[in-house]
C-alpha cells in the first residue's frame, strides 16, 4: 500500500510543471519577506536610475571638458558625477545586504522544514534512499532555490529598469543610431543565449557528480575500518578520482561555454565603437552626428547595456538551472508522511503490556512476503524468545512491534488497542528497544542516557547504568559519566556499548522491551555482564528478544521457532527440546556448543 502511495507521489512531483513549482515557491517566500524585498526593490530602482544617469553624465563630462571656459558648468558636472557614484554605491550596498538577508532566511527556513519532513519519513524511506542523496538535498537544494529568487528579483527590477534607462539615454542622445543598435543588439544576444542554453545540461550533471563525491567521502568515514582491513584504499581512491575528475571536466566545460560569449561580445563592442567614431565624422541620413558629448554618452549607454541585457537574455536558463534545486527541495518537502497518526489516535492506558499479533501479514517494499498470517500471544510480563534461521522474519517482527512499519494484513494489539490507533509518543514511551547495532550519539555518556528521558535526574541515570551493569566501567573512565563516546561510540568496547544501550532502554522504565541480540560474540566476562544486566532489566517487563544466546532461550517463558515468517513450534525450552523437532535441531547445532 505504502509503495503504491509513493509511486503516485513520485508521478505527481515529476509531472508538476516548472511554472507551477516556481509560482508556489515564490508565493511561499515573498509574502513573509515583503518588507525586505520592498526596500531592496527601492534600492534597485535607485541603482538603475543612477546607472542611466552615469551614461548620460558621460556626455556632460565630455562637453564640459571640451568647453573649459564654462567654469560653473564644470563645477556642476563634477559635483553631479560625485553625487551619482556615491548614491549608487550606497544603494547597491543596501540592495545586496537586504537581498542576502531575505535569501539567507529563506534558505534557513527551507532547510529547517526539509529536516523536519525527513524525520517524518518511515524507515523504508531511509533504507531506500542513499544518505549522500539526502545530504545533497538538504544542504544544496535550498541554496539553488534561493538563487532563483535572486535572479528573478534582480532581473525584473534592477536589470530591466537599468536597461530601460540606458536605452532611454541612447534614444535621447542619438535616436537614429539607437534604432540601428536595437536591431544589432538582440541578434548578438540571441547568439549568446544559444551558447548558454547548453550550460543548463552541464549543470544538471554537475549535481549528480557532487552527490558521488559526498557518497565516497561518507563511505570512507563510516567504513574506514573495513576499507583498511580489506585494503580497499586503491578502490576508494579510484572512485574518488573518477568523481572528482567528472566534476572538474564539467566545471571546465561550463566555464568554456560561458566564456565563449566574451570574445563575441568584445568584437561587437569594438566594431560598435569603431563605427560610431567613423559615423561621427559623416552626416547620417542628412543629420549631423551631434556633439562629441552626445556620441560619448550614447556609446557608454550602449556598452553599459550589455551586462543587464545579457542577464535578462539568459534569465530563463538561469532560472531553469536553479529549478533543479527547487524541484529537489519540494521532492522532499512534499513527500507524504507514510507513518501518520490516525486522527482518532489515543494514548495507551497504563496496562500490563500485553502483546497480541493477529493474522499478521507483511512484505517490504520489494513485495516479497516476509510474514504470512502470523498469530502470536505473548506472555505478559514475561520473556518471549524468537529463534529461527537467518531471514525467517525475527527482526521484522520487532520492526512491526515498534511500529516502524505497519502490517499489510491483520493487526497487532498492545493492551487490547491496535497499534495503528495509538499515539506515537505514547507508544514510544511504553516500548524500549535495544538493537543489534547499538547506535550512540557523539556526545558524553550522561547525555546519551539523558536524551531519551530529558527530565531524568542524575541519580536516575546512575540507577539505570547500575541495572545495566554499566555503572562500574563508566566510573572507571577518566571523565566518568562525562566521557565522550566518540562517533557512534567508537571509544567504547562492544560489550560496553551494549550495556550502555541497555541502560538507555531502561531509562524509560518500559513496559515492553524489544531486544535484538547482537550476533557478534562477546568475551565470556562481557557476555556474563550483559546477560546479568538483561536478567535484571527484563524482570516483570514484557520482553520480546531475538535470541542468539543459550542463556536467553533458557530463561525465556516462551520460545517461538520461526521459519519463513510462520511460527513452526512454540513452547517452553524443555517442552521444545523433548519434542525433538526443529528447535531441538537448532539447539544441537547452535546453542549446545555455546
Ligand atoms: N528493509 C528491507 N527491505 C526489504 N527486505 C527486507 C528488509 N529487511 C529485511 N528484509 C527481508 O525480509 C526477510 C526477513 O528479514 P529479517 O531481518 O526479519 O530476518 P531475521 O530473521 O531477523 O534474520 P537474522 O537472523 O539474519 O537477523 C529477509 O528475507 C530479508 O531479506
Ligand atoms: Mg535480524
* Residue 135 pLDDT level (bands cut at 50, 70, 90): confident
CA of 396 to the centre of ligand 1 (A): 6
CB atoms within 10 A of CB 188: 21
Question: Is the CB–ligand 1 distance for residue 396 below 6 Å?
Answer: yes
Q: Is residue 503 part of a domain?
A: yes
User: What's the confidence (pLDDT) of residue 521?
Assistant: 57
User: Do 309 and 430 fall within a single domain?
Assistant: no
Q: Is residue 133 part of a domain?
A: yes
User: Do 257 and 399 fall within a single domain?
Assistant: no
User: What's the confidence (pLDDT) of residue 522?
Assistant: 63
CA of 391 to the centre of ligand 2 (A): 7
Kindly report, residue by residue over 493-507, the tens digit of the pLDDT: 888 888 888 899 888
- From the list 86, 60, 58, the residue with the least C-alpha distance to 73 is 60
Residue 565: nearest ligand to its CA?
1
User: Do 391 and 535 fall within a single domain?
Assistant: yes
User: What's the confidence (pLDDT) of residue 272?
Assistant: 75
Q: Is residue 544 part of a domain?
A: yes
User: What's the confidence (pLDDT) of residue 16?
Assistant: 65
* Residue 42 pLDDT level (bands cut at 50, 70, 90): very high
Question: Is the CB–ligand 1 distance for residue 394 below 6 Å?
Answer: yes
User: What's the confidence (pLDDT) of residue 283?
Assistant: 60
User: Do 155 and 90 fall within a single domain?
Assistant: yes
Determine the Cα–Cα distance for residues 455 and 453; give it in Å rounded to an integer.
6
Question: Is the CB–ligand 1 distance for residue 367 below 6 Å?
Answer: no
Ligand 1 atom 19, closest CA:
391
Q: Is residue 5 part of a domain?
A: no
Q: Name the β-bridge partners of 563.
A: 566
* Residue 7 pLDDT level (bands cut at 50, 70, 90): very low
| Number of the ligand 1 atom closest to the C-alpha atom of 398 | 18
If you average pLDDT over every residue of the chain, what do you get?
85
Question: Is the CB–ligand 1 distance for residue 188 below 6 Å?
Answer: no
Section 264-269 average pLDDT: 78
CB atoms within 10 A of CB 97: 14
User: Do 278 and 381 fall within a single domain?
Assistant: no
* Residue 519 pLDDT level (bands cut at 50, 70, 90): low
Burial class (CB in 10 A: 0-12, 13-18, 19+), 90: middle
Using the predicted structure, report yes or no on whether residue 264 has a pLDDT greater than 80: no
Enumerate residues 6+ apart whose C-beta is below 8 A from 319. Answer: 22, 148, 151, 152
User: Do 295 and 391 fall within a single domain?
Assistant: no
Domain count within the chain: 2
* Residue 434 pLDDT level (bands cut at 50, 70, 90): confident
Q: Is residue 346 part of a domain?
A: no
User: Do 320 and 403 fall within a single domain?
Assistant: no
Question: Of all residues in the chain, what percent carry a pLDDT higher than 70?
Answer: 92
Q: Is residue 132 part of a domain?
A: yes
Residue 123: nearest ligand to its CA?
1
Q: Is residue 8 part of a domain?
A: no
User: Do 396 and 329 fall within a single domain?
Assistant: no
DSSP one-letter code for 398: H
Ligand 1 atom 4, closest CA:
364
The domain boundary residue, chosen from 274, 299, 333:
333
Using the predicted structure, report yes or no on whether residue 90 has a pLDDT greater than 80: yes
Using the predicted structure, report yes or no on whether residue 6 has a pLDDT greater than 70: no
The domain boundary residue, chosen from 300, 333, 366:
333
User: Do 464 and 513 fall within a single domain?
Assistant: yes
Question: Is the CB–ligand 1 distance for residue 364 below 6 Å?
Answer: yes
Kindly report, residue by residue over 272-307, the tens digit of the pLDDT: 778 777 776 666 555 666 778 888 898 899 889 888
| Number of the ligand 1 atom closest to the C-alpha atom of 399 | 18
User: Do 278 and 361 fall within a single domain?
Assistant: no
Q: Is residue 338 part of a domain?
A: no
Section 554-574 average pLDDT: 89
Q: List the CATH number of the domain containing 400.
A: 3.40.50.300
Kindly report, residue by residue over 449-478, the tens digit of the pLDDT: 998 888 889 999 999 998 888 898 999 999
User: Do 445 and 325 fall within a single domain?
Assistant: no
* Residue 11 pLDDT level (bands cut at 50, 70, 90): very low
Residue 124: nearest ligand to its CA?
1
Section 385-399 average pLDDT: 91
CA of 319 to the centre of ligand 1 (A): 45
Ligand 1 atom 17, closest CA:
395
User: What pTM value is reported for the model?
Assistant: 0.73
Section 163-192 average pLDDT: 85
Q: List the CATH number of the domain containing 180.
A: 1.20.1560.10
Contact 496, 473 (CB under 8 A): yes
Burial 275-312 (b: 16+ CB within 10 A, else e): ebeebbeeeeeeeebbbebbbbbbbbbbbbbbebbbbb
Residue with cell 517452553: 572
User: Do 405 and 316 fall within a single domain?
Assistant: no
3-state secondary structure of 362: strand
Using the predicted structure, report yes or no on whether residue 219 has a pLDDT greater than 70: yes
Give residue 458's domain range: 355-591
Residue 560: nearest ligand to its CA?
1
Amino acid at each position: 500500500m505504502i509503495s503504491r502511495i509513493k509511486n503516485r507521489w513520485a508521478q505527481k512531483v515529476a509531472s508538476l510543471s516548472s511554472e507551477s513549482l516556481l509560482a508556489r515557491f515564490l508565493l511561499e517566500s515573498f509574502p513573509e519577506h515583503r518588507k525586505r524585498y520592498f526596500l531592496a526593490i527601492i534600492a534597485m530602482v535607485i541603482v538603475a536610475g543612477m546607472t542611466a544617469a552615469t551614461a548620460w553624465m558621460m556626455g556632460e563630462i565630455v562637453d564640459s571638458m571640451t568647453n573649459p571656459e564654462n567654469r560653473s558648468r564644470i563645477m556642476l558636472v563634477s559635483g553631479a558625477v560625485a553625487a551619482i557614484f556615491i548614491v549608487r554605491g550606497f544603494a547597491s550596498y543596501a540592495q545586496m545586504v537586504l537581498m542576502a538577508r531575505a535569501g539567507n532566511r529563506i534558505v534557513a527556513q527551507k532547510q529547517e522544514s526539509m529536516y523536519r519532513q525527513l524525520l517524518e519519513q518511515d524507515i523504508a524511506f531511509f533504507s531506500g534512499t542513499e544518505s549522500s542523496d539526502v545530504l545533497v538535498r538538504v544542504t544544496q537544494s535550498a541554496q539553488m532555490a534561493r538563487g532563483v529568487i535572486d535572479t528573478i528579483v534582480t532581473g525584473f527590477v534592477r536589470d530591466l529598469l537599468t536597461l530601460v534607462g540606458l536605452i532611454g539615454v541612447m534614444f535621447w542622445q542619438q535616436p537614429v543610431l539607437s534604432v540601428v543598435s536595437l536591431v544589432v543588439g538582440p541578434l548578438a544576444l540571441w547568439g549568446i543565449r544559444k551558447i548558454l542554453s547548453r550550460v543548463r545540461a552541464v549543470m544538471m550533471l554537475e549535481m549528480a557528480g557532487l552527490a558521488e563525491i559526498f557518497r565516497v567521502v561518507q563511505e570512507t568515514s563510516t567504513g574506514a575500518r573495513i576499507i583498511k582491513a580489506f585494503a580497499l584504499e586503491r578502490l576508494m581512491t579510484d572512485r574518488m578520482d573518477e568523481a572528482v575528475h567528472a566534476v572538474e571536466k564539467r566545471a571546465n566545460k561550463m566555464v568554456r561555454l560561458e566564456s565563449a560569449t566574451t570574445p563575441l561580445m568584445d568584437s561587437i563592442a569594438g566594431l560598435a565603437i569603431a563605427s560610431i567614431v567613423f559615423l561621427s565624422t559623416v552626416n547620417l541620413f542628412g543629420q549631423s552626428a551631434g556633439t562629441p558629448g552626445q556620441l560619448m554618452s550614447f556609446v557608454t549607454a550602449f556598452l553599459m547595456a550589455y551586462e543587464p541585457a545579457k542577464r535578462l537574455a539568459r534569465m530563463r536558463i538561469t532560472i531553469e538551472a536553479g529549478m533543479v534545486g527547487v524541484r529537489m527541495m519540494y521532492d522532499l518537502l512534499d513527500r507524504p508522511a507514510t507513518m501518520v497518526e490516525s486522527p482518532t489516535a489515543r494514548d495507551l492506558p497504563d496496562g500490563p503490556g500485553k502483546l497480541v499479533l493477529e493474522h499478521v501479514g507483511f512484505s517490504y517494499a520489494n513485495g516479497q512476503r516476509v510474514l504470512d498470517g502470523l498469530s502470536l500471544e505473548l506472555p505478559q510480563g514475561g520473556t518471549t524468545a524468537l529463534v529461527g534461521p537467518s531471514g525467517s522474519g525475527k527482526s521484522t517482527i520487532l520492526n512491526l512491534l515498534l511500529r516502524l512499519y505497519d502490517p499489510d494484513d491483520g493487526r497487532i494489539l498492545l493492551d487490547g488497542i491496535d497499534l495503528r490507533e495509538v499515539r506515537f509518543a505514547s507508544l514510544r514511551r511504553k516500548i524500549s528497544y535495544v538493537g543489534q547495532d547499538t547506535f550512540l550519539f557523539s556526545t558524553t555518556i550522561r547525555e546519551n542516557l539523558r536524551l531519551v528521558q530529558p527530565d531524568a535526574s542524575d541519580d536516575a541515570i546512575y540507577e539505570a547504568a547500575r541495572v545495566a551493569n554499566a555503572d562500574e566501567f563508566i566510573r572507571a573512565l577518566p571523565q566518568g559519566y562525562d566521557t565522550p563516546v566518540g562517533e557512534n561510540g567508537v571509544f567504547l568496547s562492544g560489550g560496553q556499548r551494549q550495556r550502555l544501550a541497555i541502560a538507555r532502554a531502561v531509562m524509560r522504565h518500559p513496559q515492553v522491551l524489544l531486544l535484538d541480540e547482537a550476533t557478534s560474540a562477546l568475551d565470556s566476562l562481557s557476555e556474563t555482564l550483559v546477560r546479568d544486566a538483561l536478567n535484571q532489566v527484563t524482570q516483570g517487563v514484557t520482553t520480546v528478544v531475538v535470541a542468539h544466546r543459550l542463556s536467553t532461550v533458557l530463561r525465556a517463558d516462551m520460545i517461538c521457532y520461526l521459519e519463513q515468517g510462520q511460527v513452526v513450534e512454540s513452547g517452553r525450552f524443555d517442552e521444545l527440546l523433548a519434542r525433538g523437532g526443529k528447535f531441538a535441531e537448532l539447539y544441537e547445532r547452535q546453542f549446545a556448543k555455546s
